[in-house]
Amino acid sequence: MPQQSYNVVVVGIGAVGKEMIRLLRARKFPIKSLTILARSEREEVIDGEAYPVKPASPEAFEGMDFAFFAGTEGAKGASMTLGWEAVKRGCVVVDNGDDFRMDERVPLVVPEVNSEALRQHQGLVANPNCSTIIALMALAPIHRAAGVRRLVACTYQAVSGSGSAAVAELEAQTRAWVQGEDAPPQAYPHPIAFNVLPQIGSVKDDSGATTEEQKMRRETHKILGDARMKISCTCVRVPVFNGHSEALHMELDKLLSVEEAREILSAAEGVELVDDVENATYPMPIHASGRDKTLVGRVRPDNAFDGPGLALFVAGDNLWKGAALNTIQIAEKMVEMGLDRVP
């Protein structure tokens, strides 16, 4: 029997949108036709191949099967305007943006963690925040085995998470520093080269937590289907081009030895255990960039909690697993589960 193929739309052609197109090709997603939509009509060249870009409109989704909204963190627009319009026209939407993540109608999915949530989809599925996805790749299997009652997370997030302008700014500031010149910040409120910025997002309530930090708490609770876990998070932008890293400190419901944790993580789908500190082998963004898997290491006991504790360090490609790859994996899982239609 010939494989089903799909009319696919990618909405947005920034850093994440380009990676979506690369990954759709590399993973051989069953594409009948590929359409790229953005604000204006033009041509984009990706890896030497020219792609026509058409203006986005509700009518552009007629006859389409899957729409991947590239989205940008904090940017309202395309999915808010066009997401449900696409669904009305029979197109399944997977949205990388944050507009619908906490919407009760919309499953929030990491396929390796909660693919069963896809059975409740009403035509639109949300992709979690990049830092949430990368943390959950390691946290979820530990939670299933021993129960995580408390999480303290510190993230070290690459500039590619802010888009291509931030990547260019880090490069320009680095070159300027080497040459003894000045390159004033534009993408960020302060220089990012040779600096760290302990703010990602804005503070919108009296909690003192930024929107990025609140996303990790709220999204983790929704994905795991359990709001009892207490979560404290500090999100930091670091002068790394690509690849987010995170230090995770967990208080567990029951004791889990380091050896047991390593066995669990070694067997976890989408995870690669990289844990030999004596030989300077551990997760680093330079090794995670361009990789499908999330790297996990520095697994050790954490004695700072009243109960049993575990600490580890993770690194993952924020443009791939943290955005474009997870989005496509959601669609692949929907095809696999026979959920590739609007109910």
Measured CA to CA, the distance from residue 236 to residue 139 in angstroms comes to 19
What's the pLDDT score for residue 72?
62
What's the pLDDT score for residue 74?
46
Instruction: Tell me which H or E stretch contains 336.
Output: helix 325-336
* This prediction's pTM: 0.95
Which amino acid, residue 24?
A: L
Measured CA to CA, the distance from residue 117 to residue 137 in angstroms comes to 16
Reading across the β-sheet that carries 271-273, which strands appear in turn?
Answer: 230-237, 148-157, 244-252, 309-316, 294-301, 271-273
Q: Report the candidate in 224, 225, 226, 244 with the shortest Cα–Cα distance to residue 235.
A: 244
Tens digits of residue pLDDT in 25-58: 999 999 999 999 999 999 999 999 999 999 999 9
What's the pLDDT score for residue 2?
55
Give pLDDT < 70 ranges for the chain. Answer: 1-2, 72-77
Chain centre to alpha carbon of residue 29: 19
Domains of the chain (ranges; CATH) run: 6-128+323-336 (3.40.50.720), 132-318 (3.30.360.10)
The residues, any chain, with a CB within 8 Å of residue 319's CB and separated by 6 or more, are: 15, 16, 19, 160, 161, 242
DSSP state of 48: T
Count the Cβ atoms, other than its own, within 10 Å of residue 198: 10
Instruction: Tell me which H or E stretch contains 237.
Output: strand 230-237
DSSP state of 203: B
Measured CA to CA, the distance from residue 95 to residue 52 in angstroms comes to 22
Measured CA to CA, the distance from residue 193 to residue 122 in angstroms comes to 44
Joined tokens for residue 3: 């494989």
Catalytic residues: 130, 244
User: Beta strand pairing status for 271-273 and 294-301?
Assistant: parallel
Residue with tokens 């600490």: 311
Which amino acid, residue 31?
A: I
Measured CA to CA, the distance from residue 158 to residue 240 in angstroms comes to 5
Measured CA to CA, the distance from residue 183 to residue 13 in angstroms comes to 27
